[in-house]
A and B are shown apart, each in its own frame.
Chain A
Amino acid sequence: QKEVEQNSGPLSVPEGAIASLNCTYSDRVSQSFFWYRQYSGKSPELIMSIYSNGDKEDGRFTAQLNKASQYVSLLIRDSQPSDSATYLCAVIKAGGYQKVTFGTGTKLQVIP
């Protein structure tokens, strides 16, 4: 079982719709969760972080964390073609160096 799992996609949504991206993690002691956006050929950029159960909203983005079920999701409201990218989920486990583990990413395509 991978430490951080994401569906590779592509996830296709029409412009203006809500895109829902999901991520599950295997280690229950994971404590910090991040979503990065990576455009093709570019480096990742941090868009959201979440540390406690529940929802966290930032503009059109909402991160949701459910530690009991070990999943974290990212909702993108009013999706735009410029949101088309690969979204990487990243998790930090507790203890020691607090290593960041990345998922392989979900490719999102927003269709105009």
Chain B
Amino acid sequence: DGGITQSPKYLFRKEGQNVTLSCEQNLNHDAMYWYRQDPGQGLRLIYYSQIVNDFQKGDIAEGYSVSREKKESFPLTVTSAQKNPTAFYLCASSIPPGRENYGYTFGSGTRLTVV
């Protein structure tokens, strides 16, 4: 079955530690996204990539980094510079906007907690 796989489901980060969240898709989608969801704030865009080897900052990129070396993979690193990383992280992918049946397919999410 096609879909997006995020791992791990739960992640605990110590102060000053970098952690990497995995996102893999087998939908053959060109575009991939990372969102952060906090209670009462909706989804906020961290980074997006419309094609392999290219990515752009979203609205809240500070303290995060990404790579897009393969079409299927878009890992997100939460660095120690991100001072408030506790949140629910969602990876999504899509076909290009404007095409029929456009819409995001989301992974199941990673819940990150600072300990």
Partners in one complex: yes
B43 at interface by CB-CB < 8 Å = yes
Contacts of A98 in B (CB 8 A): 97-98
Is A43 a contact of B97 with CB atoms below 8 Å?
Answer: no
Is A43 a contact of B108 with CB atoms below 8 Å?
Answer: yes
Tell me whether A43 and B50 are in contact in the complex, defined as CB-CB below 8 angstroms, given that A99-B45, A104-B41 are known contacts. Answer: no
Interface residues of A, count at CB 8 A: 21
Tell me whether A42 and B97 are in contact in the complex, defined as CB-CB below 8 angstroms, given that A88-B43, A97-B48 are known contacts. Answer: no
Interface bracket on B = 20 to 34
A17 at interface by CB-CB < 8 Å = no
Q: Closest CB-CB distance, B100 to chain A, in whole Å?
A: 9
Is B42 a contact of A92 with CB atoms below 8 Å?
Answer: no
A36→B98 CA distance, assembly (Å): 18
- Which residue of the partner chain, among B48, B97, B105, contacts A92 with CB atoms under 8 Å? B97
Which residues of chain B in 24-56 are interfacial with respect to chain A, using CB atoms and an 8 Å cutoff?
Answer: 35, 40-43, 45, 48, 50, 56
Is A46 a contact of B56 with CB atoms below 8 Å?
Answer: no
Which residues of chain A in 32-69 are interfacial with respect to chain B, using CB atoms and an 8 Å cutoff?
Answer: 32, 34, 36, 42-46, 49
A36→B35 CA distance, assembly (Å): 15
Is B102 a contact of A43 with CB atoms below 8 Å?
Answer: no
B106 at interface by CB-CB < 8 Å = yes
Is B106 a contact of A45 with CB atoms below 8 Å?
Answer: yes
Contacts of A100 in B (CB 8 A): 45, 104
Q: Closest CB-CB distance, A53 to chain B, in whole Å?
A: 18
Closest to B111 in A: A41
A57→B81 CA distance, assembly (Å): 46
Tell me whether A43 and B109 are in contact in the complex, defined as CB-CB below 8 angstroms, given that A32-B102, A34-B103, A49-B102 are known contacts. Answer: yes
Chain A residues with a Cβ under 8 A of chain B: 8, 32, 34, 36, 42-46, 49, 88, 90, 92, 97-100, 102-105
